Amino acid sequence: MAPILVTGAAGGSQGGTGRRVAETLLRASLPVRAFVHSEDARAAELKDLGAEIALGDLREIQAVTPALQGVRRAYFTYPVSAGMLDAAAVFAAVGHQVGLERVVAVSQLGSDPQAGTPHMRRHWVAEQALDRANIGAVHLRAAVFFENLRVAIRDTGELRLPLGSPDTVLPLIAGEDVAGVGAGVLRTEGPVDPVLWLAGEVMTVAEAAEVLGVPYMNVDPDEWASTAISKYGNEVAVEHLTHLWTMFAAIGSGHELFRVTESIEQFTGRPPITLREFAGSTE
Ligand SMILES: NC(=O)c1ccc[n+]([C@@H]2O[C@H](COP(=O)([O-])OP(=O)(O)OC[C@H]3O[C@@H](n4cnc5c(N)ncnc54)[C@H](OP(=O)(O)O)[C@@H]3O)[C@@H](O)[C@H]2O)c1
């Protein structure tokens, strides 16, 4: 059987979705080629689990070309950081060349040319590049990861976000559920909708804070951005999140896209993970 290429396979600080997809496929005895950014302990663990390792930078065609040789299905993820569009364009071009049949690509819930954050608009462009390559793209348009809230409360013990009213509504999902749908789609033989909206729980920020056991504190967006770089580590993430939180504050009590979606249960075979379950886990 052809190996399934899983990018972001080492996992990272956002949702670790590539790592979870790689592990799920390996547990099902499927051949995995794990694309990793560096040869470190995470890569060694993947090798021990039975993955073949492809090493390199997803923005570099000379790294992606050998990694996609002989591959028919792939999982594409790239963190909220500089270079996502370069990586998607490279993946689309090489995927087309090698005759990729399905790529499951992580995107964002609001991906659209008019979306409220620059990175959501970039995701829409990335979706277009993958679609035009005719490589069976399925876009996982995911809500805010629970993991994101965990980062937000780190250090202060408060959910300090520029979300305005405590009644501002957030669409949320566990990184594990995004990965569960990704692995499920990769294992599905028949046709799959090219866009899957993914939200596992919809709640106000006050409810989210209560579940996490911390107070919610509304903060000024500029003040938030000035402190966020130390938590999120890169300027693209801070720019994206500053726009995202203010967009949710402006939307207020909800949007038609803010609803729990059936795709999670459809592809994982179980209900979405709740924030309460996530908060009780040690990961
Ligand atoms: N965070 C949220 O709330 C949220 C919400 C909705 C959608 N999303 C979407 O989720 C996706 C990211 O999630 P994730 O769970 O996969 O992220 P993640 O856990 O941060 O993992 C990212 C992986 O990509 C690797 N990587 C980074 N730069 C690379 C490069 N240039 N070449 C090769 N590999 C590289 C990292 O490796 P190293 O660690 O070795 O660099 C890491 O293994 C994004 O598309 C984002 O828009 C996120």
How would you write the chain as a 3-class SS string? CCCEEECCCCCCCCCCHHHHHHHHHHHCCCCEEEEECCCCHHHHHHHHCCCEEEECCCCCHHHHHHHHCCCCEEEECCCCCCCHHHHHHHHHHHHHHHCCCEEEEEEECCCCCCCCCHHHHHHHHHHHHHHHCCCCEEEEEECEEHHHHHHHHCCCCCEEECCCCCCCEEEEECHHHHHHHHHHHHCCCCCCCCEEEECCEEEEHHHHHHHHCCCEEECCHHHHHHHHHHHHCCHHHHHHHHHHHHHHHHHCCCCCCCCCCCHHHHHHCCCCCCHHHHHHCCC
148 lines ligand 1 (CB under 6 A): yes
Q: What is the pLDDT of residue 283?
A: 60
Could you give phi then psi for residue 14, rounded to 5 degrees?
A: -85, -75
Nearest CA to ligand 1 atom 35: 37
| Ligand 1 neighbourhood includes 12 CB (under 6 angstroms) | yes
Residues 46 and 9 sit within 8 Å (Cβ to Cβ): yes
**Can you read off the two tokens belonging to residue 133?**
């390559």
Q: Is the distance from the beta carbon of residue 142 to the nearest atom of ligand 1 less than 6 Å?
A: yes
CA of 88 to the centre of ligand 1 (A): 13
pLDDT at 281: 83
How much distance in Å is there from the Cα of 182 to the middle of ligand 1? 14
CB of 105 within 6 A of ligand 1: the answer is: no
Residues in CB range of 27: below 8 A, 6 or more apart: none
Give the model's pLDDT for residue 155: 85
pLDDT at res. 186? 98
By DSSP bridging, strand 195-198 and strand 73-76 are unpaired
- Side chain identity at residue 116, one-letter code: G
pTM of this structure: 0.98
Q: For the chain, how long is the longest CA-to-CA vector?
A: 53
**Residue 134 confidence (pLDDT):** 98
pLDDT by residue, tens only, the chain of 283 residues: 999 999 999 999 999 999 999 999 999 999 999 999 999 999 999 999 999 999 999 999 999 999 999 999 999 999 999 999 999 999 999 999 999 999 999 999 999 999 999 999 999 999 999 999 999 999 999 999 999 999 999 989 999 999 999 999 999 999 999 999 999 999 999 999 999 999 999 999 999 999 999 999 999 999 999 989 988 989 999 999 999 999 999 999 988 889 999 999 999 999 999 999 999 986 6
Rounded to whole angstroms, the Cα distance separating 76 from 137 reads 10
User: 7 C-alpha vs ligand 1 centroid, how far in Å?
Assistant: 9
pLDDT at 282: 61
In the chain, the domains with their CATH numbers are 4-144+173-199+256-268 (3.40.50.720)
Question: Taking phi first (over 0 means left), then psi (-120 to 50 degrees means alpha), and beta for anything else, what does residue 212 get?
Answer: alpha
Written as six digits, the tokens of 274 are 């709740």
Is the CB–ligand 1 distance for residue 111 below 6 Å?
no
